[in-house]
Structure 1
Amino acid sequence: MAILERAHRGAIEEQYAHELWLAHGLHRQSPMVVLLRGLAAMYAIDAAPSGPIELGGVDWGAYPDYRAAIGRLLDDDARVLVSVSALDRLGMSDKRLLPGLGAVEDHEITNLLTIAERIFFL
């Protein structure tokens, strides 16, 4: 199981090698469940990608395309879940999730952890 809790860490520096990219690489080596919690639960929302980043009048590129990264995980048969309580805390429980994602309650996460061979915190 790969658990992602932080979001947009190093978004400018890691446009192509972000935490979902790493989760995909790990999944290809050993199939796993990917769980989006905390601020990373925002990745699960079906919304348009963010626009370019401008700091100090300089264009720094764009955020990574997290939607596409989740799509690649799903295409490779990864199970991608999002925490319902995280969505509630972010005020996003009424938002539509990306197709193919599952929403899980905290007690279900505990059950998943007990059967996981490995747990990665990314």
Structure 2
Amino acid sequence: MFDPASLKYDANGLIPAIAQDHRSGEVLMMAWMNAESVAKTLEDGRVTYWSRSRQAFWTKGESSGHVQRLVEMRVDCDRDCLLLLVEQTGPACHTNRRSCFYTAVRDATEVVIMAPLET
């Protein structure tokens, strides 16, 4: 049985979690989790993060409807980062884009490479 306490958390009790589309491999976002949000995610299959700004749990899609369903959780070799393979409903980013990684630095210039999704 997997024990979330076996992971290496930072001084604030957090671990970075990268959400990736389980079909396309597209990186959708990065957020933080603590041991309790890891356990909750594994228990119900809906990805739950820890919001550093609100100091509260944040189940992806609870207000937007843009839910992340966990397909598989992977632990990196140092046990200090998670990769969440997810099924994403709607955009992952609060800017209404598919991914939070919607800008690129090209020739020392930052450019927007992804427009918000139509509503």
- What TM-score results when the alignment is normalised by the length of structure 2? 0.23
Greater share of residues in strand: 2
Which protein, 1 or 2, shows the higher relative CO under an 8 Å CA cutoff with sep ≥ 6?
Answer: 1
- What TM-score results when the alignment is normalised by the length of structure 1? 0.23
